[in-house]
Amino acid sequence: MLLEHGYHDLGIQALLEATRTPKGSFYHHFKDKEDFALQVIDQYMGHVHAGLDDCLGDKSCPPLKRVRRFFELTQRNYRREGYLGCLLGGLGQELSGVSEVFRRKVEGCFSEIAKRIAVCLEEARKRGDIPAESNPRRMASLLVDCWEGAALRSRLRGNAAPLTTMLDFYFQSAVSRSPVASHSERTDRFL
């Protein structure tokens, strides 16, 4: 409901009616609407971390393939939800200019995602899958930034094209600079 309506347009009464929750129960668990939304972000991040664990922790696949798989699975979730995009991106766009609490919370979440991806990209760098001079932290941060922009465009268009195009471009660009792999090796590593 936060993705569909946004924070400001989601009224507590509508939320209570949709979830068939008594008002007293809501206020037993949440101090106010802000507390509710912050806890929703925490819950959302639990799912994001589980996805990162599943994908990035799969040592049977090369690191670049693991990173891409995380984003492809996220893209499937977006499709299932009607391409509403990323909760963090949506709330960040809506609230970062008016709430320092949300700005810090959302930025911290994005930084944590990038940090986890950077570990996998460092593994790719050590394996020679990306150039030795690559900066995995910067690459991971750029990937998250590009993904969030593509998620917004996907929401605007109502389809996955921006997400797919961004992933293809990012992984082709990251891998094609590698001096140690042939063209077919570069292509196979992230497909």
pLDDT-derived band of residue 176, with 50, 70 and 90 as boundaries?
A: low
Q: Which of 89, 85, 84 is nearest to 113 (CA)?
A: 89
What pLDDT digit, counting tens, does each position of 21-44 carry? 999 999 999 999 999 999 999 999
**pLDDT, tens digit, for every residue of 111-156?**
999 999 999 999 999 999 999 999 999 999 999 999 999 999 999 9
In this structure, what CATH number is given to the domain that contains residue 101? 1.10.357.10
Structure tokens, 63: 């690191």
Please name which of 42, 44, 65 lies closest in space to residue 55, comparing C-alpha atoms: 65
E strands, 89-189, in order = none
Any domain includes 162: yes
Q: How confident is the model at residue 185 (pLDDT cuts 50, 70, 90)?
A: very low
Domain that holds residue 159: 31-190
Tell whether 8 is covered by a domain.
Answer: no
Q: Sorting pLDDT into bands at 50, 70 and 90, what band is 85?
A: confident
* Residue 20 maps to a domain: no
Q: State how far the Cα of 183 lies from the Cα of 185, in Å rounded to an integer.
A: 5
Q: Is residue 4 part of a domain?
A: no
The model scores a pTM over 0.95: no
Angle ∠(149,75,144) on CA atoms, nearest 5: 40
Count of structural domains within the chain: 1
Tens-digit pLDDT profile for residues 49-76? 999 999 999 999 999 999 999 999 999 9
